[in-house]
Amino acid sequence: MRILLVEDTEGLGEVIQDQVADEGHAVDWVKCISQADSSLRTTDYDLILLDLMLPDGNGIDLLKKIRNLGETTPVIILTARDQISDRINGLNAGADDYLVKPFDLSELCARIAAVSRRYAGNPNPIIHLGALEVDMTKHLIFRDGITVNLTAREWALLEAFIQRPGTLLSKSQLEDHLYAFGSEIESNTIEVYISRLRKKLGKDQLETVRGLGYRMGYSGPQGR
């Protein structure tokens, strides 16, 4: 379970980490100091914890921005006790829940667990490979957070590797994955597409095993 924590004060992240990690979920949290940082890719997270006390603007605006993108990731608002109006605005802006500071950690964990249970049914399979993030269902790829556009063939090739991470795939296997039976290829098409993928995804992602084929996704013992 990946949690995006948007706050400017410190410490909460570690605490959540410690508390929730033991419950079986992996907590992968990110601290964002500003709106600018966090407004990027909320799709990658299963839950957003949003502190309304951001230095550079109202957190409500950020929430609205997220919802306006059609994003349905659940959001729990963290708010100080004296900001009652903020809570109401937050819920109106599309928050799923809110907690008033200071709150009990067990309370927070309970809410997190509830949310994670609710969303366990439809996990969005997002694959992380180093700097790459691949959303298989939405057909989206990010490299260091930047969208990468792949053509149909390029995507198909990548797919072959993602389906068998760490497996060595020969060129003829890859051809079989890309082309229908009859249509035989008589040039170095695979090599060309490997090259194109490397250019778009980064050199390190695809490993060449001379004489045998290519491999992606595991270990990269590097360098030689």
Partner DNA sequence: ATTCTATTTTCAGTTTATTGTCAGGAACTT
Partner DNA sequence: AAGTTCCTGACAATAAACTGAAAATAGAAT
Site residues, DNA (CB under 7 A): 85, 149, 151-154, 171, 178-179, 185-189, 191-195, 198-199, 208, 210-213, 224
- Partner in contact with 221, chosen from a second copy, DNA, none, beta carbon below 5 to 8 Å by kind: a second copy
φ, ψ dihedrals at 33, nearest 5°: -85, -30
Residues 13-52: x/- map of binding to a second copy (CB under 8 A)?
Answer: -----xx--xxx------------------x---------
**In 46-65, which positions are buried (b, 16+ CB within 10 angstroms) versus exposed (e)?**
bbbbbbbebeeeebbebbbe
Q: Work out which of 10, 82, 85, 149 binds a second copy, going by CB under 8 A.
A: 149
Cis peptide before 102 (omega within 30 of 0): yes
Segment contacting a second copy (CB under 8 A): 29-37, 166-174, 175-183, 185-193? 166-174
> Please, is 74 exposed, middle or buried when counting C-beta atoms within 10 Å of its C-beta (0-12, 13-18, 19+)?
buried
Residue showing tokens 């079986």: 24
d(CA 39, CA 180): 42
Query: CA 93, CA 61: separation in Å to the nearest integer?
Result: 9
Interface positions with a second copy (CB under 8 A): 18-19, 22-24, 43, 64, 67-72, 91-92, 96, 104-107, 110, 113-114, 117-118, 121-123, 127-129, 137-140, 143, 146-149, 151-153, 155, 162, 165-168, 200, 209-212, 215, 217-224
